[in-house]
Amino acid sequence: MPVGHPAGPVKLGIGDAKLQLDSVQTQKKNEVNPCCYFPCQHKGVCVRFGLDRYQCDCTRTGYYGPNCTTPELWTRIREALRPSPSFYHFILTHGRWIWNIINTTFIRDVLMRLVLTVRANLIPSPPTYNSDHGYISWESYANLSFYTRVLPPVPEDCPTPMGVKGKKELPDPEVLVTSFLLRKEFVPDPQGSNLMFAFFAQHFIHQFFKTSGKMGSAFTSALSHGVDLNQVYGDNPQRQYQLRLFKDGKLKFQMVDGEMYPPSVAETQASMRYPENVPEGHQMAVGQEVFGLLPGLMMYATIWLREHNRVCDILRAEHPSWKDEQLFQTARLILIGETIRIVIEEYVQHLSGYFLKLKFDPELLFGIQFQYQNRISLEFNHLYHWHPLMPDSFVVGDQEYSYEQFVFNTSMLLDYGVEALVDAFSRQRAGQIGGVRNINHHVLHVAISTIKESRELRLQSFNEYRKRFGMKPYTSFQELTGEKQKSAELEELYGDIDALEFYPGLLLEKSLPNSIFGESMVEIGAPFSLKGLLGNPICSPEYWKPSTFGGEIGFNLVKTATLQKLVCLNVKMCPYVSFRVPDPDQVDKQSVKRPSTEL
């Protein structure tokens, strides 16, 4: 393999990605790590030799040459035929009547299989890097305490934080966030996302985004790297036992005015994070110890508690000989399946805006190469900081709650009941995530800390991630944002578009037409999401069969799960429930607005 000699600043041009090199003498004088130039393209791996030499390992990239820039024949043909992300996004979001026909034919399955394989293949499996090892190592594979990484960290000895591009110091995080991300006026999501969607996102991701406060931001405290519903059942055996009833497979609960709610902390002795001013009688215990923070999270925790115990009743009627343990374990598998189906067919479907009807059918991947395992990556964790979804206040019935009134309001769930909260959150619009300044000042600190963490962990630039996920790098800040003033200010702060950081880039990128965020959030986020969902063991040929779920009745619960069923089968009156706000002219006769005393 040829040995490269980058001797000065490297400029990657569009299309040919050739290196424009200065003299070898300049490089030797400066002794800059050549891998700081990121010379290896198309997933090629840079290996340093001595002080001023490197090799690009182009194995199985489809490219060859000193910097993996020359395409092989089949790569050339494939690239010539492959549409751009913007093109296929346009196709998938236009021509509804054509897609209505396609969705009723075998073509839907063909396209869904293509979506799954193309997206999932972008995620390395087994994992390649972590924050301590920017090269292949056994530790990267075997140490589950680490978040894995798709791209290795920027080498520590580079001239600038992003390699060789940009200024020697990155912009002050508080100045950056205050100037470009702080909300001036609430911008609603044009896709109509609501707070039911926002709280579902939070409830869902807290099972696998669990950064370790003790070990640092490169580490996760999660024992599992996927969808296991530990936010319902607890993330360790001790917590699980504290929450289990050990009768009929069920979880502990308390009855209030004839309705089922999570048990108290006092009864379970399960630790929860409540401030001292919260009365002991208002402290409920669930799988995730932080869910007392927001009524929307405790609402979902209550719904899933009821669903688990409902499923246990169904299984017990079918299998009177089964003991508590088998009922519990089988019900958990069913709820995991229900979750994955709702996420793919409703949650991801809503986010995508596609007219192609997404389908949860693990059998689409049977018979092709697919690995049923998953590791949560640091990049996915940072990407999923969607705090612009949060509004400026929260409206339930005729009452408007400020952040101060809403946070740790443990009585709201009991005061209103599940139906009223579902109805209210389904009707209140969430904020647009990308392309606008839309983070409420109460949660601005999260964006600041995310940027600080990304610098501590030396995440590569936004453009490097675009290239890694098959997109062309931006050539200017104006191309990124689609306007002049903001782009000029960013140019002044960063000095070079190739020095723009990962998380700010995701939020600053202009959004797609009538979309909640920009192209990069879709193209980078979707592979992580779909690989994590379909890589779940229940989707494997060994698990995906009726006997896993207690027979055809349990299997059917998984295959027919919807958000509406999840809610309406666990409340007395079915409210308006959706991830999208109702149309303005829609008159919904099922709306609920009543206090808990009527339950």
What is the rounded CA–CA span in Å between residue 283 and residue 409?
Answer: 10
- The amino acid sitting at 366 is F
What is the rounded CA–CA span in Å between residue 135 and residue 133?
Answer: 5
Residue 387 annotated to the active site = no
What's the token pair of residue 102? 């396609």
Q: Which member of 5, 282, 319, 384 is catalytic?
A: 384
Residues sharing a CB contact under 8 Å with residue 390, sequence separation 6 or more, in sequence order: 198, 430, 431, 440, 442, 443
What is the rounded CA–CA span in Å between residue 389 and residue 434?
Answer: 10
3-state secondary structure 478-517: HHHHCCCHHHHHHHHHHCCHHHCCHHHHHHHCCECCCCCC
CA-CA-CA-CA torsion for 11, 13, 17, 18, nearest 10 degrees? -60
- Three-state DSSP class for residue 290: coil
Under a CB-based contact definition with an 8 Å cutoff, are residues 310 and 299 in contact?
no
Q: Which member of 89, 203, 206, 387 is catalytic?
A: 206
DSSP character string of 171-238? PPHHHHHHHHTB-SS--B-TT-BBHHHHHHHHHHHTTT--EETTTEEEEE--S-SS---HHHH-SSHH
- The amino acid sitting at 66 is P
- The amino acid sitting at 455 is R
Residue 384 annotated to the active site = yes
Active site residues: 206, 384
